Structure 1
Amino acid sequence: MKIIDWYILKRFLVTFVFTLLILIPIAIAIDVSEKIDNFLEHADLGFYQVVNEYYVNFIIYYTNTFMPLALFIAVILFTSKLSNNTEIIAITNAKISFTRFMYPYFIGATLVTILSLLMNHFVVPNSSITRKKFEKEYINNRAQKNDLKYISDFSLQLTDSTYIFIRNFNTETNSGYDFTSEVYDGLKLKSKLVADNIRFNPKDSVFSIQNWRKRQIYKDRDSIFSGSKVDTVFNFTPKDLIYKSALSQEMPSDELIKFIRISKKRGVKNLNAYLVEFHKRTSLPISSYILTIIAVALSFRKKRGGTGINLAIGVAIMFLYVFLMKISEVLGAVAGVDSLLYVWMPNIFFGLIAIYLYYHARK
């Protein structure tokens, strides 16, 4: 790398970090103003616990979320400054092409992309576990807590031939009622187990069923068994009953892929909310390249409005990108659609814009 490359890359990274250091305190200030009442409601909640369990993980989450935005704003700011100081004119007079000029930018974008990918797939999901647990305990209202606590009318396919149904289950007490397990041979019912109550023991990973009745079906006769209580094993845990998109945010990508694969085998109909979360972990970091090209192409030439007009255009484009990203996530979570296509749609759209601006800037 030449001196000019190190100069641009250094300015790139310094401005990027500086922009993040501006955005994160703003996000913290807004969040504190919204949740201060929730913190004060709990007399046993100390300052250290709030910072250690919530805001440390809050910073990790929003640092990762703001990375593309910070990169985009940073590139516009320091490239506009290079242009206003006529440094870019000196570079072009030295017969350096626009493509060669982009070289240090792509190195910087690659560093940000690799960091974002690692955080998205491994660091953020693990930190979200502590943050979500804190929110559930101290921030969520009673209705939200009950929504996560009680599971009603849930059915699940455990294997190709085994199905279960639970009328109601409490994920805090690990107990429920009206439990049914059915085993099929093709379309023919082989056995059916019904229990009034069911309880999961996390220590032994076994289920205790009470007031149970089992019907075993043979070719020429049926056998019925019953009892007051028995311990048995099923191929699921209470965690499998919680079908919430928020749960996917707490899973590292390897665990999330395994969860999706097992859920498909069990016949869960709509897994798009989980697929959207998984695809988003890659699409958002890759957008760093697209946003870098757009930012450089917009601020490469000196404009009458200077940095201000470039920044205004950039912020407008960034908000449009975030708007399309949120819409695509909602549409991608709908059953029956291609979640991969919807998640990548903002990148495809802005990628075409980036290609146009790139070829226009080369001229």
Structure 2
Amino acid sequence: MVTFLFTLLILIPIAIAIDISEKIDNFLEHTDLGLYQIIDEYYKNFIIYYANTFMPLALFIAVILFTSKLSSNTEIIAITNARVSFTRFLYPYFVGATLVTIISLGMNHFVVPNSSKERKKFEREYIKNNRQKHELKYVREFSLQLTDSTYIFIRSFDTEANAGYDFTSEVYDGIEMKSKLVSDRISFSEKDSTFTLSNWKLRKIFKDRDSIFSGSKIDTAFNFTPRDLIYKSALAQEMPSGELQEFIGVSKKRGVKNLNAYLVEFYKRTSLPIASYILTIIAVALAFRKRRGGTGVNLAIGIGLMFMYVFLMKIAEVLGAVAGVNSLLYVWLPNIVFGCVAIYLYLNARK
């Protein structure tokens, strides 16, 4: 565990140094941005996010370093000569992996989302360019199913001003339209969670006649908020798992077609910590035998496998966010592939 903490403390400063080199120009553009604010609002949360992300990988490297040290000192030979099986030899490693997994799961599901919310807010204000800010601010040509019978359509909506244009709400009974409400402008009040419609017109359809009502302004309530209009994967990182799961459930009922970006984020919070067990088995099996070249060879092989895992994980996340695919399978694909590698190495090491 000491080696694990040491490895983690090496990886984080490297990530910070790379990030500073990329964003130093953005920081200098804002004269009102102080060092304390950068550390408190951005890098504090940056460390929380990447420390949690690096945990399984730091554990992987730590196990290789520690086991290679045992092997180079011929301590493993003494252990095996005492008829200690390879499975029994793995027990202490799994205790350490369990500790890391529990901490990582807790951080992934509860701590990191709240931390990411503050970090993303800082990025939107000081780092994102105008085009990226515009994408998060404006929603165009949006439709949403509120209930089994109610649908809404909005041509454009400003999520910062909480106002939009060309709003339509339609209520159906089966395939027959019962009413249609349109307005030139719609605005949302966070104070009382109501919408104000300007230049509105309501048409109610009956069997033998239609009734039309209109006015300049009316206050009403709908079962959605402006936040529901923004379907971006970045927002998923800001939701604790309970809120994210509820959001996915509500969105499915509303008929949102592609929620895979949110599902990928939700599944990833469990799959990455569980990878600690798989990477631990691989690391012990690689470093269990004494090699010519010692720790350096084991470490080189381990780092190569680590980058292969990260590369496969990123590809799986991108493919899992595509509409119509099984996002659960794609998120767990790196664990499945490396799990097979771990089983092979484990069976081979037992011999």
Task: Give the SS at the match of 1:236.
Answer: coil
Q: Are 1:250 and 2:234 counterparts?
A: no
Deviation string 1:284-317 (CA, Å, 9 cap, x unpaired) is 0000000000000000000001101101111111
**Which of 208, 218, 241 pairs up with 2:206?**
218
1:169 matched residue in structure 2: 157
**Any runs of at least 4 consecutive aligned residues in structure 1 with deviations exceeding 3 A, and if so which?**
none
Q: Are 1:236 and 2:215 counterparts?
A: no
State the distance in 2 between where 1:37 and 1:317 align: 34
**Which of 281, 289, 295 pairs up with 1:307?**
295
State the distance in 2 between where 1:346 and 1:31 align: 26
2:331 matched residue in structure 1: 343
Give the stretch that moved more between structures: 32-41 or 51-60: 32-41
Q: How does 1:74-85 map to 2 (within 5 A)?
A: 74-85=62-73
Q: How does 1:1-363 map to 2 (within 5 A)?
A: 13-363=1-351
Task: Give the SS at the match of 1:305.
Answer: coil
Task: Give the SS at the match of 1:102.
Answer: helix
Task: Give the SS at the match of 1:313.
Answer: helix
Letter in 1 for 2:331: V
Task: Work out the number of aligned pairs and report it.
Answer: 351
Deviation string 1:119-177 (CA, Å, 9 cap, x unpaired) is 11110001001000000000000110001000000000000000000000001100010
Letter in 2 for 1:111: L
Task: Give the SS at the match of 1:173.
Answer: coil
1:3 matched residue in structure 2: none
State the distance in 1 between where 2:3 and 2:214 align: 71
Task: Give the SS at the match of 2:143.
Answer: strand
Letter in 2 for 1:314: G
1:5 matched residue in structure 2: none
Task: Give the SS at the match of 1:80.
Answer: helix
Deviation string 1:191-239 (CA, Å, 9 cap, x unpaired) is 0000000000001100000000000001111000000000000000000
Structure 1 residue 93, shift from structure 2 partner: 1.4
CA RMSD of aligned residues (A): 0.5
Letter in 2 for 1:292: T
Structure 1 residue 94, shift from structure 2 partner: 1.3
State the distance in 2 between where 1:50 and 1:320 align: 33
Q: Which runs of 5+ in 2 are unaligned?
A: none
Task: Give the SS at the match of 1:156.
Answer: strand
Q: Which runs of 5+ in 1 are unaligned?
A: 1-12
State the distance in 1 between where 2:179 and 2:349 align: 70
Task: Give the SS at the match of 2:317.
Answer: helix
Deviation string 1:24-50 (CA, Å, 9 cap, x unpaired) is 001111111111111111111111110
TM-score under structure 1 length normalisation? 0.96
Letter in 1 for 2:196: S
State the distance in 1 between where 2:11 and 2:314 align: 20
Letter in 2 for 1:267: G
Deviation string 1:65-117 (CA, Å, 9 cap, x unpaired) is 11111011000011001100111111111111111110000000000000000
Give the stretch that moved more between structures: 30-39 or 287-296: 30-39
Task: Give the SS at the match of 1:219.
Answer: coil
Deviation string 1:231-251 (CA, Å, 9 cap, x unpaired) is 000000000000101000000
State the distance in 2 between where 1:51 and 1:173 align: 29
TM-score under structure 2 length normalisation? 0.99
State the distance in 2 between where 1:345 and 1:129 align: 28
State the distance in 1 between where 2:144 and 2:345 align: 50
Structure 1 residue 187, shift from structure 2 partner: 0.4
State the distance in 2 between where 1:17 and 1:331 align: 33
Letter in 2 for 1:90: A
State the distance in 1 between where 2:25 and 2:304 align: 34
State the distance in 2 between where 1:128 and 1:289 align: 26
1:10 matched residue in structure 2: none
